[in-house]
Amino acid sequence: MNTVLSAAPKRIEELRYQGLVRFAELLESQTRTRLSSENVNSLVCAVNAEIQATLQDCVHQLQDRSDHEQVILRLQSSNARSIRLNSTLALLFSEHERQWNKNEGHLKHLMLDFGSTVESLAGTLIEKELLERQSNVLQNIIISHEKVSQWKLFVQEILAGFHTVFPFNFFFIAFAEEHGLSLYLYFLGDYADEIKSLVRKKLAHDMLSQLGLPDDALLDIEEFHIPTPNTSGAIDEIKLITVSVPDLDKLNLAGLLGVAYGSVQKLSAQEASVIRSILAVMVMVVGSSKALSRTMAELEYYSSHDPLTGLHNRRYFNDMLEYEIGRSERHKHEFSILMLDLDDFKDINDTYGHPCGDAVLVGVADAMRAAMRKGDLATRIGGDEFAIILTETGKDGGMNVANKLRSELRDFVFNAPDGKAFHITTSIGLVAYPGDAQSQSDLMSIVDLGLYRAKQLGKDTVCSVETAVEKIQESRTIRDQAETLRSALHEGRIVPFYQPIIDCRTGEIFAYETLARLCQPNGETVSAGMFIETLEKYGLGRELDRVIINTSLLALKERIDRGVHTAKLFINLSAQEIQGRGVLGFAEKLCQEIGIPPSHLVFEILERDAIGDMTHMRKFLTELRKKGFSFALDDFGSGYNSFHYLRELQFDFVKLDGAFVRNILNSKIDYALVKNLSHLCQDLGILMVAEFIESREIMEAIQSMGIEYAQGFHLGMPKPRME
């Protein structure tokens, strides 16, 4: 009881002390009263006995007197009263004795109840100092990125702070690992080797026993020393407080089994309870820290590695390429890059399934590792594409490695799910620093071109591109031009010019062809031939078509409003717009809004675009005619199967390729071809437009052939207005 009360608050101890003092005073007072009453009773009884004896003697002496009878009667009466007094005193004292015994029993029970209550209260209250000690330990357990990544040091920091508040000797952490059990043993203070050996055996055994683990469990013990003042006490008196993980299967604590606190200090019940609660917190902190550390390590690993092959990934490759450029520049070294792409890898996935394809990628990665030296870097860029950095290796050395690797991969045997064997081939691009390029972007562009060239040469080959820098520069120029054109479209600097199409019979304007022109900021005008292919390559053809249609229809509406003779508009369509099929709805809606009949529009389609998808082209033309628009086949005769289009596609106009027209005066063959094509179209009911009319003589020649319409610089130059 004294041990427990020593840990109680001072107010509880003072209350207990004052209560016991008051109880002692009451017992002492009652005892004194009892003793006094007993003395008085004894005295009265003694005096009364003497009086009775005296009275009895007097009775015997007075028996001879004459008046003795009266005296005797009085004496007998007094003796009777004395006897009654004795009897009354006996009864009174007996009652007092009963009350005293009863009160004494009540006081004893009250004292015991009071002591028990104080003891129970002291056992359930933890003094403020103990709570502060617990708080000092817990407030230092703060998880951060740095502490999680170095969780072992984090544990040592916690234990060092723990020791200053609750001095102890040893600490254990047990984990279930793949290879067995891992036991982390922390020594708080300096100990001799024999003591460490004893602790290692005895306390490890005790901890395993308390965790319910077998004594012969395979242990991997890792020890740590935390410099602290040694706590006194014999090692054999150490007691463990062990806390295990309550539900290991449901808590993701990286295999943590439990922790144990070993100390030679004698602990109160409250101290043991507080320490146990701190250990429960440490179970979660230590287990979570290790689990987070493992997860962070995995995330860090996969941020730079390919999860399938284990090779480094594209991100790491780019970082190391930048580093290698700087290193080679400082030390005047060469290095080479190999870019590998498996030939027809899609066929493997389609034929044998993706698991088989994954096995091939893993096999390729293993072959790459085997072919490299220490210091080289193999990476999986993505899909079936791999890259290797060969440090301090020139182009000749890189070519040797590439051919060796290509040969080994070609000879490697892979097994299909059905048990059959198959082989793969690899195309490889090669680039060397600094001979081929000096920047990271140029190196990658050149090696990509080398890989592309290897594919073009029949696959299963190694290729470096000697003139790739010029091609890259050309590609960049086209890309820059595309951005310039994109800006011009948004700024309204690509506008239609109008070239007249003349009726050969009357000499009057029959129609205008809209021709896109780029207006440069300096006022210069650039024809469509300089930029139309770039627009189509980068997906700007549809936007151009709609700008031209909208602007030219507004111009035609203005011409009609002025009362000028109505003319048709020939508008070129890009292949993208034909494939998208949305231009018809756009043009139809625009015609309705502006108030121009669709019959005024003739859409021109290049012969090369018409042959791409004959079935869909036929449907497109059918929809075009249903909406009232007309159709012209541009550059007719330039294709290798032009007559096939005349048969398969129904259109209204044919624009004869100018390559035939410009030489009809000097070439009998061209003259005959144009004349016969004209007669053919007349027989089929198709109107013909002859382009490239650059002289009066050519105009007269086509008129003699019966061609309906003509267009060219001799008849009218493209102008920004319809004149």
Of residues 410 and 580, more confidently modeled = 410
- Position 671 pLDDT exceeds 50: yes
- Position 15 pLDDT exceeds 90: no
pLDDT band of residue 260 (cuts 50, 70, 90) is confident
DSSP-derived secondary structure letter, 565: P
Distance between CA atoms of residues 202 and 25, nearest Å: 55
Of residues 504 and 640, more confidently modeled = 504
Kindly report, residue by residue over 577-633, the tens digit of the pLDDT.
Answer: 666 557 778 888 888 898 899 989 998 887 666 555 666 777 777 887 888 888 888
Please tell me whether residue 579 adopts helix, strand or coil conformation.
helix
Q: What is the pTM of this model?
A: 0.48
Judged by average pLDDT, the poorest of 96-100, 170-174, 313-317 is 96-100
Q: What is the CATH number of domain 485-710?
A: 3.20.20.450
Q: Please compute Rg for the chain using Cα positions.
A: 56
Across the chain, mean pLDDT equals: 78
- The identity of residue 61, as a single letter, is Q
Distance between CA atoms of residues 336 and 321, nearest Å: 10
Judged by average pLDDT, the poorest of 194-198, 320-324, 366-370, 421-425 is 194-198
Give pLDDT, residue 646: 67
Of residues 469 and 358, more confidently modeled = 358
Give pLDDT, residue 194: 80
How confident is the model over 198-219, as a mean pLDDT? 75
* Whether 454 contacts 477, CB under 8 Å: no
How confident is the model over 349-373, as a mean pLDDT? 90
Question: Which residues on adjacent β-strands are paired with residue 433?
Answer: 335
Closest by alpha carbon to 621, among 589, 584, 585, 587? 584
- Position 641 pLDDT exceeds 60: no
Domain 132-303 and domain 485-710, same fold? Reply is: no
Q: What is the CATH number of domain 314-466?
A: 3.30.70.270
- Position 126 pLDDT exceeds 60: no
Query: End-to-end distance of the chain based on CA atoms, in angstroms?
Result: 120
Give pLDDT, residue 322: 92
What percentage of the chain exceeds 70 in pLDDT? Answer: 71
Q: Which of 125-134, 190-199, 703-712 has maximum average pLDDT? A: 703-712
The stretches of 65-150 forming alpha helices (DSSP H) are: 68-124, 128-138, 145-149
Judged by average pLDDT, the poorest of 152-156, 158-162, 256-260, 719-723 is 256-260
CA dihedral 158, 161, 166, 170 (to 10 degrees): 50
The domain segmentation of the chain, as residue ranges, is 2-125, 132-303, 314-466, 485-710
Closest by alpha carbon to 689, among 604, 624, 626? 604
Kindly report, residue by residue over 455-497, the tens digit of the pLDDT.
Answer: 887 888 898 876 455 556 667 777 778 888 888 888 888 899 9
- Position 7 pLDDT exceeds 50: no
- Position 278 pLDDT exceeds 90: no
- Position 521 pLDDT exceeds 90: no
Give pLDDT, residue 570: 94
pLDDT band of residue 340 (cuts 50, 70, 90) is very high
- List CB contacts of 368: < 8 A, sequence separation 6 or more: 311, 340, 378, 386, 388, 405
Half-sphere CA count of 31, side-chain side, radius 13 A: 8
- Position 6 pLDDT exceeds 50: no
Taking the alpha carbons of 675, 681, 687, 691 in that order, is the dihedral positive or negative?
negative
What fold, for 132-303?
Beta-Lactamase (3.30.450)
